């Protein structure tokens, strides 16, 4: 009898051997490939080796995701992980290089409805971890990404600064350091909480590693039904826009670009560039995801 393979185990080993990207990227990739393995097994591929990937397997995954009604962006993220798999086993041609070739529609990068979220709608008191509560408050108050809020070191972030916080490059996506202004007493209150909990360290408990604490975060927020917490970042962007521009963003019910006066268009552009920098993007176009157009 020939050797039997378990594709879930094979892909887990592949991920363990190839630690590309940040801890968060590695963790997300491992989870996506684990889900892909289970999908393939349910489709009848019970004895599949990671090196046996074929276009038919990619097709099964894509059709399954589409049948589940997943968002275009989610499907593209998952397909990126399958491409990674294909490249690691020397079969890059198993997956078309473009999503268009796969028949995946183009993703809209303009917010048509607001995805803004506030902690008033999240059952944070049920989290059971004070450090996680404050990390969520940091996400809301400063528009931080999840990884940034967990790795946040209040002593480093505020050293020598009075009216802003500094994010270390290693916390940030793309490895870009940035400054975010402090414009409210609420932000200072959240920073004080972070200082009290973290001391000279980060929001990760001293006895935990980032990857372990990230898993705790995911499970704790899942238990309280808090999903899509990236919406806290959308909320920050929309509030900042109204403060900077003097009127609401289109996604929040404000005027569209076509409805703006020439002076308002200048304010719109300046505000978007400022917000893009605060969010760590550096280009105006991406603000349409948060603010609409």
Q: Is the pLDDT of residue 69 over 60?
A: yes
Q: Is the pLDDT of residue 2 over 60?
A: no
CB-based contacts of 250: which residues, under 8 Å, 6+ apart?
A: 111, 256, 257, 291, 292, 293
Residue 74 has a pLDDT of 85
Total domains in the chain come to: 3
pLDDT above 70 as % of the chain: 97
CB-based contacts of 218: which residues, under 8 Å, 6+ apart?
A: none
Give the domain extent around 75: 7-102
Is 111 inside a domain boundary? no
Beta carbons of 257 and 293 less than 8 angstroms apart:
yes
- 181 and 273 both lie in a single domain: no
- 32 and 55 both lie in a single domain: yes
Q: Tell me the average pLDDT across 83-106.
A: 88
Contacts 24+ apart (CB under 8 A), 124-132: 124/224, 124/226, 126/223, 126/224, 127/220, 127/221, 127/224, 128/220, 129/216, 129/220, 130/197, 131/197, 131/198, 131/203, 131/204, 131/205, 132/216, 132/217, 132/220, 132/221
Is 31 inside a domain boundary? yes
Boundary of a domain, candidates 68, 102, 136: 102
- 41 and 73 both lie in a single domain: yes
- 188 and 138 both lie in a single domain: yes
Q: Is the pLDDT of residue 119 over 50?
A: yes
Boundary of a domain, candidates 202, 225, 248: 225
Per-residue model confidence as pLDDT tens digits over 257-271: 899 999 999 999 999
Is 1 inside a domain boundary? no
Place 7 in a pLDDT band, splitting at 50, 70 and 90.
very high
- 129 and 179 both lie in a single domain: yes
Mean pLDDT over the full length of the chain: 91
Is 108 inside a domain boundary? no
Residue 1 has a pLDDT of 45
Is 110 inside a domain boundary? no
Q: Tell me the average pLDDT across 150-170.
A: 96
pLDDT above 90 as % of the chain: 69
Is 78 inside a domain boundary? yes
- 130 and 208 both lie in a single domain: yes
Place 109 in a pLDDT band, splitting at 50, 70 and 90.
low
- 141 and 186 both lie in a single domain: yes
Is 245 inside a domain boundary? yes
**CA distances in angstroms from 188 to 108, 142, 162, 194, 260, listed in the order given:** 36, 11, 10, 10, 34
Per-residue model confidence as pLDDT tens digits over 184-212: 999 999 999 999 999 999 999 999 999 99
Is 202 inside a domain boundary? yes
């Amino acid at each position: 009898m020939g050797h039997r393979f378990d594709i879930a185990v094979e892909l887990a080993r592949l991920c363990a051997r190839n630690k590309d990207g940040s801890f968060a990227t590695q963790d997300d990739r491992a989870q996506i490939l684990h889900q892909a393995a289970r999908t393939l097994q349910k489709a009848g591929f019970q004895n599949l080796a990671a090196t046996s990937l074929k276009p038919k397997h990619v097709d099964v995954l894509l059709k399954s995701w589409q049948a589940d009604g997943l968002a275009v962006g989610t499907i593209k993220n998952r397909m990126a992980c399958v491409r990674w798999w294909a490249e690691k086993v020397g079969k890059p041609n198993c997956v078309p290089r473009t999503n268009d070739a796969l028949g995946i529609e183009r993703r809209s990068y303009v917010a048509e409805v607001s995805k803004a979220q506030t902690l008033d709608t999240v059952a944070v008191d049920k989290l059971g971890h004070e450090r996680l509560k404050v990390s969520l408050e940091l996400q809301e108050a400063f528009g931080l990404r999840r990884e940034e809020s967990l790795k946040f070191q209040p002593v480093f972030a505020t050293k020598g600064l009075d009216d802003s916080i500094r994010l270390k490059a290693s916390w940030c996506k793309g490895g870009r350091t940035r400054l975010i202004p402090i414009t409210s007493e609420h932000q200072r209150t959240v920073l004080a909480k972070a200082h009290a909990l973290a001391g000279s360290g980060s929001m990760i408990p001293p006895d935990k590693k980032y990857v372990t604490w990230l898993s705790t975060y995911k499970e704790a927020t899942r238990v309280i039904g808090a999903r899509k917490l990236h919406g806290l970042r959308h909320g920050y962007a929309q509030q900042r826009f109204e403060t900077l521009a003097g009127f609401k963003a289109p996604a929040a019910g404000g005027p569209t670009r076509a409805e703006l006066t020439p002076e308002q268009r200048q304010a719109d552009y300046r505000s978007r560039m400022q917000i893009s920098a605060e969010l760590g993007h550096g280009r105006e176009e991406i603000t349409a995801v948060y603010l609409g157009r």
